[in-house]
Structure formats: structure tokens, C-alpha cells
Chains A and B, each alone.
Chain A
Amino acid sequence: MKKRWVSVLLAAAIAVTAAAGCGRKKDLENADNNNATNEENTEQNGTDNVTENETDENQTANTEGTVYYLSFKPEQAEQWKELAEEYTNETGVQVTVETAASGTYESTLKSEMAKEQAPTLFQVNGPAGLASWKDYCYDLKDSALYKNLKSDEFALINDDGEVQGVAYVIETYGLIYNNAILSKYFAMDGAKVKDISEINSFAKLKEVADDMQARKEELGIQGVFASAGMDSSSDWRFKTHLANLPIYFEYQNDKIETTEAIKGTYLDAYKNIWDLYLADSTVEPSMLSSMTGEDAAAEFSMGEAVFYQNGTWAYNDIIGNDVAEEDLGIMPIYIGVGDEANQGLCTGSENYWCVNKKASQEDIDATLDFVEWVITSDKGREFFRDEMGFVTPFKTFTDEYQPKNPLIVAANEYLESGKKAIPWAFSTIPSEGWKNGVGSALLEYAQGTGDWEAVKKAFVDGWASEYKAVNE
């Protein structure tokens, strides 16, 4: 009997050590991943593990602090890790970068924030996104990050004057066009305009587009506008980015910056541009519900479409096929409202950095140092320019740190020529629910299964009800 107990105890002991062993191994693996993505760098790993073990044993607080950045951009996951490693090599401060999979940032952030090792640096997409995270935002007023900003319009500042978020990238969107096809059209008999600069209003754009659509065989295109796909990979181009224009012009007209109830003053203009996208498109409207963002990019880059509504970030998706770099251009989206002659592109940011207030002070300091390094050091700035191709709102990014992307160059030319950039008013949209409502109504209108009244209802009534739902 006694013997049996001994064996039971032994078995239990083995089980416990085995479990503990696994746990330990996992910890080490994690540490490895965190310290350096580069596995060849064994020396680095070795020393780091040693120091970590020592601090474990001494139970002393980690006076250095660590950084955990939850990144929003999957396309730059590897690059961020490299930059973090660079920083660790230089300063010895551990920086972990994790990237949420495409379209899952909010859900990843929600679960990561609940952990003990929560992100110290995270992102919100503007005022609406900030609403969920405002209790987590450290006041950045005294940080180098904020002080280096070119202007306050790139910061999220609350009523108490606290700087809750700072934009780190400025993006621009408009109508990207293929100059090669346009030139071909301009050379044709009876072309409505002879130069791209003559397309400076909605009326002209429609005239040209309709005429080009009628001659699409001659021009060798499928349609004038790349398909206005309403798949979730593409619908934001219309339910958010295109909707920005009627929202912005209404704000401008009413001299406000945000509202709890939109009136939809310029919905007719919204309808006009949407009708134009549908009529002069590469595909039948009934196909739109499953057309993706890749479809539209492919149509444009293969020279099947002339115009493609998107932003500077789309550069990599549309280059490398039929469209030559020098043929790429971008022009404002005219909807027939306001001072069209001076209308510029839509410029703003949807990427704001926030520092987690609930992290320890050491970690907060380490995080602030890290972001300061990113925007001031040569390596950080070169990285922004070369690896990510970002335009940033920071003073430290002088001319030599501007990316060479032709869309960005074109966008800058617009700004320099004195055209008035349109801000991203869509960041005041009350919720994702509103966007989805408008998107679905737009799609049903396009397919013919719904009417424009439904879009109006989603736009106006939806705004009021979503605003109420979110802010009560």
C-alpha cells in the first residue's frame, strides 16, 4: 500500500516537473521571439536571456522598462520588427512588435489590452476610435512626439487639453488616373477636353467619362472607372472615403467640425458621383457585391480602367504591370459642390499613436523614448521613407526624408499649387455601424434591389441613431 503511494507521488512529481518544464520552455521561446526575430543572432539571445533570468531571481523591478507596440499595418510587420531590433541593439531596451492581422486590429487590441503584458504603444483611427480607448491614453503633451508635430491638427486633443493621440502618417486620396490612356483619348477627334488640367469640375469629369465610356473599344479599356467593388476589401472606398466629401462640404457650409445629426445637404452630389462610378464602370452593377479591392487595383494596373479612386498607399498594388510610373497621376474627386477650381485632394490621417496610460511609468518612459528615436534618428527616418513610404506630420522629416512615390509627389504638388486640401471629415463618423449601413444601402441601390431613399435614410437617420447609441 505504502509503495503504491510512493509511486503515485512520484508520478505526480514527474507530471508537475514536466508541466513546469514545458512552461519554462515556452517562456524562453517567447523571450527569444521578443528579443530578436533574427535567429542567427544567437549571442544576442544568450545575453538577453541571462539578464532576464537575473532580474527574475532578484525580483527587482525592471528599471529600464520595455516597449510593446501593437502595430496596425500588416504590410509592414517585418519592417517594424527589424526597426525594433535595431533599437534594441543600440540601446539595450527591449521592444516587442506584434502586428494584428488585416482587419482585426480592434479585436486584437481588445484582447491584448486585457493581458498583464498589455501593449504600451497602440493605435486608434481617429476621434471615433479614440472613444473606446480614451481611458487608456497617456497625455502626450510633454512628449517629443507631440512637440515635433507640425501642427495641432494632427493630434487628438480632448476638452481638457490632454494630447491623447498623435498622427504619425499623413495619407492622401483622390482619383488616381492613367495618363497614357487619357493622352490617347485627348488625341482623338472630338475629345471633350485636350488636357488633364481641363478636367476641373464634376461636370467636365462626367462629360469626359461618359464620352470615354462610349468609345471604350477604341481606347481598349473595359470601362472608365475601376469597379466600385462593395466587398469588404473595397467598400470603404465609397462608404467612408467618398462619403467624406458630402460630409466635409456640409461641415464647411455649416461652419462646424463634427455633428450629432447630419443633414445630408449634399447627398444629391454623392448620388451623382456614385451614379457616374456605376454607369462608366468596368462591370455590371449587379456584380459589385463581390468585387474586391484587388479586382479594382488589377483592372487599373492592367490598363483596363482609367480612373481608380484610392490613395497614396495603393501605389504598390498598381505599379509593376501595364501602368508606367510616369503615367500615374492623381486628381481631386469632384462631386459638383463648393469651389471646384481650388479643390485639392483629401489629406488626413487615420493612424494615431497612443501610449497606454495603464502601463508602468518605466514602460511609458521607454515607449516615449522609442517613438522619439523613431521620428528623430536617421535610421528611423530612413526607415519611414524607404521601407514604409510614409509622409509624416513631424518637423524632423525634412525634404530629404520624403518618399519618392509618384502619387505622393503629385499630392505634394497639389498642395504647393495652393489648392485647398480636404480634411478627413470621415473620422467623425459615429461608428462602424453607420459605415456598414450606408455601404449596404449604396450596394442595394447599385444593384437595383434598393432605392436612393434607403441611402438617404442610412446616411441621415443612421447618423443620428448611431451617434445616440455610441454616446449615451
Chain B
Amino acid sequence: MQNSLKKYFPIFAFPTLLAFTIGFFIPFLMGIYLSFCKFTTVTDAKFVGIENYLKISADQTFFHALWYTAAFTIMSVILINVLAFAVAMLLTKGIKGTNVFRTVFFMPNLIGGIVLGYVWQLLLNGILAKFQKTLTYSSTYGFWGLVILICWQQIGYMMIIYISGIQNIPGELIEAAKIDGAKSSQILWNVTIPMVMPSITICTFLTLTNSFKLFDQNLALTNGEPSSMSELLALNIYNTFYGRTGYEGVGQAKAVVFFILVALIAVVQTKLTRTKEVQQ
């Protein structure tokens, strides 16, 4: 077995490795290199050192986008996970039509971000029009619009993960807790939640990184209006890249900073929730 694994490894892994190298590894390295360059097209770059990184520090919109994104991420991670878990709890109780509900909740996740952003823009603007306001009136409206949108999209997906986690809890554990006289809130806090910790790790990881990297929905819903005040980081990077001649490198440098941030947060978060997981 070991032998044949070794032998066939290149044949099976090579295509994937090749695709990974072409599609991810090379562009990634090129991207890092380009962040130290001034360029118009990616094949025609001039090395300028850390100049691009210095320009970031002078860019107010970047720091605004950073805290706006942070606030958005915290809000959406909490809301999505709490609501998804609640829905998952409800839909594992064996009520009538469970499958229908699960499907319905999952559906929004199948719609692309741009379409979703556009549809919600129409919906929310339709409601706000009653008050003679629009979504881009101020960044607060945009913020809550985005939170609502991302919750609507992601809750269903996280729900599925939680449902499988909850269903994997051995029935005898709950039963034993009941026999010992635990109240349902005690069962929730002391049995269910510790037992679905692996799901929580996955879901917080997914929601955290998804919210931090959110782009399509932001673009379609508010496009950063007003005055780039509802701009999340990814959109800020995009706008830096295309908004001003000679700032392609700065956009690239921001993207590298962005990558480091996302990677850092994701690693810390996984470490933290991992320690809370229990062995069955």
C-alpha cells in the first residue's frame, strides 16, 4: 500500500499541484513582488521598494475601511452564528416540515453575491423610500444593509453545519443529563455546545473570513457610497487599484497587508476555538 501510494502519487497529485501552482502559487508570489513595484500592466513593472507601503499609511480611507470591516465582521459573525445555531436547534427537534425549512433556509446561499446585493438594494431602498431616504444616505444604513444581507445569505449554510454537528451528539449523553435532572438550558450549555464545538470552529472560521473578505455584496449594495464611507477592505483595495493612475502598486500592497491580516485572524481564531473542543 505504502509502496503504491508512493508510486502513483505523482500521477494523481501532479495535475492538482500544477493547477495550484499556476492558479495560486505563481500569482501569489507575483502579487507580493508587484506590491514593491510601480506598474500599469503586470508584465511591465518597475521596482520601487517599500514606497507603496508608505503610501498606505497616508491613506485615510484604508484605515476607515479597516475599522468599518472589523465592526461589520464582529457584528455578522455573532449574528450569523447565534441565529444559525438557533435555527439548527429548532430544525433538529423533529417538527413537521423540517426538510422543507432546511431547504428554504439554505437556498439564499445558492444565489451569487452580486445578484443578491442588487436584489437587497432594491428591497431596502423600497422600504427606505417610504421615509424619503436611500441606502446610500449614510454609512450606517449601508452597514446594517450589509449585515442583513450577509445574515440572510449565510445563516442557511452555517445552519447545515450546525445541524450535522447536533445530530452527531450521542443520544445517550442528552438522556443521561436528563436523568441527572439537568434543565434544558443546562443541557444546552454543558452538553450540546461543548459537543458541537468542532462545528463552531468551522462556522466561526467561515463567517469570519467571509465577512472580512466580502466584496461582491458590498459592490452591488452600496458601492462604498457615500464618500467611500461604506467601503469594506476588499472594495477599498479594488478602488485603489483602479481609481488613480500609478496607484496599482499601492492597491497591490494593500492586498498583501490584507492577506496577512486575514491569515493572522484566521489562525488565532482556529487556535482559540480548537482549545475548547472536547473529545467524544
Binding site for B on A (CB under 8 A): 8, 11-12, 15, 106-107, 110-111, 113-114, 128-129, 131-133, 135-136, 230, 232, 284, 286-290, 431-433, 436-437, 440-441, 443-444, 447, 449, 466, 469-470
Are B134's CB and A8's CB within 8 A? no
Judged by a CB distance under 8 angstroms, whether B223 is at the interface is yes
Q: How far is B8's CA from A48's CA once the two chains are assembled, in angstroms?
A: 44
Minimum CB–CB distance from A436 to chain B (whole Å) comes to 7
For B125, the chain A residues whose CB sits under 8 A away are 290
- The residues of B that contact A437 with a CB separation of less than 8 Å are 227
- In Å, the complex CA distance between A440 and B225 comes to 7
Which of B129, B228, B243 gathers the greatest number of chain A CB atoms within 10 Å?
B243
Contact segment of B39-47, B172-180, B272-280: B39-47
Chain A residues lying within 8 Å of B248, measured Cβ to Cβ, are: 110
Please list the 3 inter-chain residue pairs (A to B) with the smallest Cβ-Cβ separation, ordered nearest first: A440-B227, A289-B136, A290-B134
User: Is there a chain A Cβ closer than 8 Å to B247's Cβ?
Assistant: yes
Q: How far is the CB of B200 from chain A (nearest CB, A)?
A: 38
Q: Is the CB of A469 within 8 A of B223?
A: no
Residue of B whose beta carbon sits closest to that of A12: B11
Are the CB atoms of A106 and B242 closer together than 8 Å?
yes
> Which residues on B are within 8 Å of A, measured CB to CB?
8, 11, 15, 40-44, 121, 125, 129, 132-138, 223, 225-228, 242-248
Quick check: A286 and B134 within 8 Å, CB to CB? yes
What CA separation (Å) do A106 and B8 show in the bound complex? 46
Complex CA distance for A286 and B132, rounded to whole angstroms: 6
- Shortest Cβ gap from B110 to chain A (Å): 24
**Which label, helix, strand, loop or mixed, suits the secondary structure of the A interface?**
helix
- Asked, given contacts A287-B134, A290-B135, A440-B225, whether A132 binds B242 with beta carbons under 8 Å apart, the answer is no
Give every chain A residue within 8 A of B242 (Cβ-Cβ): 106-107, 432
Which of chain B's residues have a CB closer than 8 A to the CB of A287? 129, 132-134
Please report the C-alpha to C-alpha distance between residue A129 and residue B121 in the assembled complex, in whole angstroms: 32
The closest CB in chain A to the CB of B55 belongs to A469
Residues of A within 8 A of B42 (CB): 110-111, 114
Distance of A469 Cα from B133 Cα, bound (Å): 35
Contact A433-B243, Cβ < 8 Å, known A113-B40, A286-B137, A290-B125: yes
Distance in Å: Cβ of A224 to nearest Cβ of chain B: 19
In the assembly, what is the distance between CA of A373 and CA of B136, in Å? 48
Shortest Cβ distance from B135 into A: residue = A290
Known contacts A114-B42, A443-B226, A444-B226; is A449 also within 8 Å of B245 by CB?
no
CB distance from B34 to the nearest CB of A (A): 11
Inter-subunit contact B226/A449 (CB<8 Å): yes
Contacts of A128 in B (CB 8 A): 245
Minimum Cβ distance to chain A for residue B221 (Å): 11
Partner among A132, A232, A431 whose Cβ is within 8 Å of the Cβ of B40: A132
The complex places the Cα of A444 from the Cα of B135 at a distance, in Å, of 13
A286: chain B residues within 8 A (beta carbon): 132-134, 137
Given A110-B40, A132-B40, A290-B134, are A431 and B245 also a contact pair (CB < 8 Å)? yes
Q: Which residue of chain B lies nearest to A472 when distances are taken between CB atoms in the complex?
A: B246
Pair B246/A132 contact, Cβ less than 8 Å: yes
B244 CB contact (under 8 Å) in A133, A289, A466: A466
Can you identify 23 A-B contacts, CB atoms within 8 angstroms? A8-B11, A106-B242, A110-B42, A128-B245, A131-B245, A230-B225, A232-B223, A286-B134, A287-B134, A288-B134, A289-B136, A289-B225, A290-B121, A290-B125, A290-B135, A290-B136, A431-B244, A433-B244, A443-B227, A444-B226, A447-B226, A469-B246, A470-B245
A136 to B44, CA, bound (A): 11
| Cβ contact within 8 Å between A114 and B41 | yes
* Given A132-B246, A443-B225, 17 additional A-B pairs, CB 8 A: A111-B42, A113-B40, A114-B42, A129-B245, A132-B40, A286-B134, A288-B134, A289-B225, A431-B244, A432-B244, A440-B225, A440-B226, A443-B226, A444-B227, A449-B137, A449-B138, A470-B244
**Contact present for A289 and B246 (CB under 8 Å):** no
Q: In the complex, what distance in Å separates the CA atom of A380 from the CA atom of B44?
A: 35
Are B244's CB and A113's CB within 8 A? no
